[in-house]
Each structure stands twice: as C-alpha cells, then as structure tokens.
Homo-oligomer: A and B are copies of this chain.
Amino acid sequence: MDLRDTVLNMGEWERLIHRAETGEITEPLENVDRDDPTPYDAIFVGGGAGGRFGSAYLQARGGRQLVVDRWPFLGGSCPHQACVPHHLFSEAARELDYARWNAGTLWFGEFDEKRASIRDLIELFKAGRNNPHAFMNWQSKEQLGMEYILNAEATVLDANTVEVAGRRFTARNLVLGTGASTYVPDIPGINLPGVFDFATLIEELDYEPSRCVIIGGSKIALEYGSFFQAAGCQTTIVSRSPLMRTASLHHVDEDLRTYVLDGMRKRGMELLEGAEPLEVIGNGKVTGVRVRLADGAELTIDTDFVFIGTGERPHSQPYVDALGVEVDDRGFITVDSRMRTSVPGVYAIGDLIGSPMEMFKARKCGMTAARNIMGEPYEFDFSEYPDFLHTTYEVTWVGLTEAEARAQYDDVVVIQMPPKGIRDDELALPCAEGSMLYAFTRPELTGMQKAIYDGKTRRLLGAHHVGFGAKDAFQYLDHLLRKGITIDEMGDMNELFLNPDHFIQLSRLRAGNSNLVDL
C-alpha cells in the first residue's frame, strides 16, 4: 500500500494498523519515494526506538534512509508490549497502593482488591496501544520525512542489500536494530500454559491469575511483581541473585535497596533470594513451582501464574548467518563506540548489542550510527547512565553509591532524608508531589533520598531517590554530575518547593561550610 501521497490522521492510522494486525491487510505499508534516484545512505533493519531515532537523525543530517519493520508501525516493542504497558501497570500499582493504605479514610472507600484485575488493565492497554503507534507513523512521515516500509520483514542478503516483500533495496550501510526477547531458562515445565513473559502477558493472558511466581531477579521481575501484588495477586519472586544486585543493575545504593525491598515485603510480597527454580509443575496448565531455597530446603509454591524475568537474548542469528557478524557468548552483536560491527558498513544498535535495555541507549545508538554514517565521527559511551525502576514507587539513581564513593574518595559527605538516626516512621519527610497524603497518614511511606558529595572538590558524586516526581530531574542531574556540579552550585539553584527531591535546599544548608559535613 503506497502511502506516499496520503496524509492519514490519527484515527485513519489507527484503523489501518488494526487491519494489518488482524491480517486483513497483508501487503507492506510503504512511504518510499520511488522516483528519487538518490542511493540510500542507510537501511535501518528494525524500526524500534533505535531505528526510528537513527532514521530521523540521518534524515535531519541530509542523508537518505529507509527503515523496515515487520510490524505495521514504528516504535518497536516499547509501545506495543514493553515500556508503555509497564508504565501503565506501574501507575496502577501506585494508585492501588494508595487506595489500599488509605482505605476507609477521607474520600477513599473500602478497598476491595477483587475489583483490581490484571486482565482488565491489559485489555485497556491493548484497546489503546494503536494510538501511540499511529502517532509514530504519522510523525515519522509528516514531521520527520522518513521513508519506511512497515508490515514486512526485511531479509539481509549482504552488507548492502536487503530484501523486503520480494524487492531488493541497496544502501551504503546497514543498521541492524531488531532487538531482543525474553531468555527462557532451561527449567522442566517452563513451556506449560500459564507461564508468561512481558510480551506474552500482553498478547495471551486469558484468565485472571490469583497467585504469581516470578522466576528471575531483573528489573522486570521487580516491576511486574509489584504490579501483580498491588492488583491483589499474591506474588513470590524466586531469584538466584540477591535482588537489585544483579549484573545488569549498577550503582544501587544499599540504603536505597533496603528501602525498596523492605517496601515490597511490607506490601506482602515474598522475596526468595539465592533460590533456584527447579521445576514448573502442572498438568496441561501451571499449578506450582518447585524451588530450592538458599538454605538448601525444597519448597513447592502453588500458583496458577508464572512470570519469567530472567533477562533477554538478541535476535542476531540472521545476521550471523548472512553477514558473519561477530557476536558475544550470548549472541549480542559486538560493536565499537561508533556502533560499528565487525563487518564494514554494518552497524548494530539497541537491545541487539546488549544491556542496558533502555530507551535512551537504543535511541542514542541510532543517532550515533546515523552521525557516523553521515561522516561525523561520534562516539557513544553508555557505561555510565542514570537509572530507574518502578515498584509502587519511582526509584531513581545516578552516579556513585555511598559505598562506591567511600571506596574511591577520602572525604565523602552524605546528605540524606530522613537523616541518619531518625526512624522513617517518626518523620514525614521527604515529602512532595505524590507523597503528601502519606506524610500525614503514614510517614514511613514517604520515601528516602541521598546525595553524595566529595568533600574535597565539593562535587556531586551520586544521587539516589525513592518516592515520586524526581525521575524527570535525574535526566538533568546526570548531565550536571558529568559536568562536575558542586554543592555550591546546587545550593545556588532555585528550587520549586515542595520539590520532590530535596537536594537543592539540603545542599544549601551545608554549602556554607568550608569543610563539608554530613546532613
């Protein structure tokens, strides 16, 4: 279907995507300028976050690109099965938590957790997800001028050639960005009905679970687990590693970790760390999970719902086969800081090259590939980045933990709320947007925050926050921390009181000291 000369509005795009998803339309959806003889600078294989942002950047730099995706929309798995539903679920978890703690007070009615349904929320998401899909197709075409072929798989033939729906397209470069999907661990029974990952949860859940066992200790495990629990589905996490101490999560401060995990336990979750899942039990459908606990004892947990959160594996095999591209032992494509693979002219981006499986990385990988393809040497180092996860809280951190700082610096100064020596149930601080009602009803739920400075240079080394409303700020704190922001500059800023993070005013209370001390 040639859409080159058609401007579809949101509703028209939504209906078109829907018809493609239901199989009513099987032909490719094309926005390609067939009359333009200019050779392509790059073909982006996969139109997820990285492919879309890379394409936009390359276009903006004056290059010509084509992006191809098997789905009838750009944007990839995030708005379809991953970050967007996860955020919807995390918001629900927060609101359910709020309704539960405040039940019977003020305007809150009694809390009936049977009203909360995981399936209802999934259905709500699925009914609406084509709206962001429609927007990305519209924006990519009408605002960003991108060429694309959707609803069609791209087959890579060589480093310059891709076949799409029987036609061949050539380009100076290829940018591979077809992502990853859940790694299914080798456990007996893991393929039984009733076992889901984040993608099949959205596409296939057809009953309301009453009890959940999560296998794995990843960010996804904590996030979805918190939602299931908040929705009234008693949840147990079975994790080999200590939670939040897995390789994929760095710079997790111990106080932050304690607050987060204690908060999950306080809400009724069972966290089995150092535990080994031995078998998923069932007869045509999941009925339990057999587990070896940290102390060696075995336990069978009855459940009608198992959720896998054990990390992801890349979709790299076709490129190994067609191009001989170099991969690591888990199949992730090896790239340099310019996103160049071992094959000249072939770049790889996003989840395909490994962790962190985060949006900023995917998008900036795409931008990095685009800049280099357009002749601008540009390197992207994502070894350090701000990070977050959601439980019933927003949990955000950047830079060094207190322990890391103490290992590297002689004069570490910690500024935190609640202060050391004050129990969190006797102090309503920190509070701000989102935790005001907790402050006056359940002070122990208002969160925690910590800023870490080097006393010698007075520079900010790290910031850590559990609460609400600070996530957006951590993007800018990451930038400022890299620029060497000091406690004096922090104390000179203009806070918007009641600011969700109290870093500015707390820093000001100490910035007058020539020898910094803790607060």
Contacts and interface: CB of A to CB of B under 8 A. Distances in A.
Interface of A: 9-11, 53, 56-61, 78, 83-84, 87-88, 90-92, 95-96, 98-99, 106-107, 109, 112-113, 115-117, 120-121, 124-125, 127-128, 131-132, 135, 138-139, 143-144, 231, 358-360, 363-364, 367, 370-371, 382, 385-388, 394, 396, 419, 422, 426-429, 432-434, 436-437, 439-441, 443, 468-480, 489, 491-501, 504-505, 508-513, 519
A106 B116 contact: yes
A111 to B, nearest CB: 8
A135 B427 contact: yes
A283 to B, nearest CB: 32
B132 A428 contact: yes
A367 B491 contact: yes
A370 B512 contact: yes
B493 A472 contact: no
Given A99-B107, A437-B91, A472 B497 contact: no
A107 B231 CA distance: 9
A48 B202 CA distance: 52
Given A109-B109, A472-B472, A472-B501, 9 more contacts: A59-B512, A60-B512, A61-B513, A90-B436, A91-B434, A124-B441, A469-B469, A473-B473, A476-B477
B9 A497 contact: no
Contact of A426 (B11, B57, B371, B426): B11
Given A87-B498, A437-B91, A56 B512 contact: yes
Nearest to A465: B472
A396 B428 CA distance: 25
Contacts of A429: 132, 135
Nearest to A439: B128
B511 A60 contact: yes
Given A437-B95, A471-B433, A60 B497 contact: no
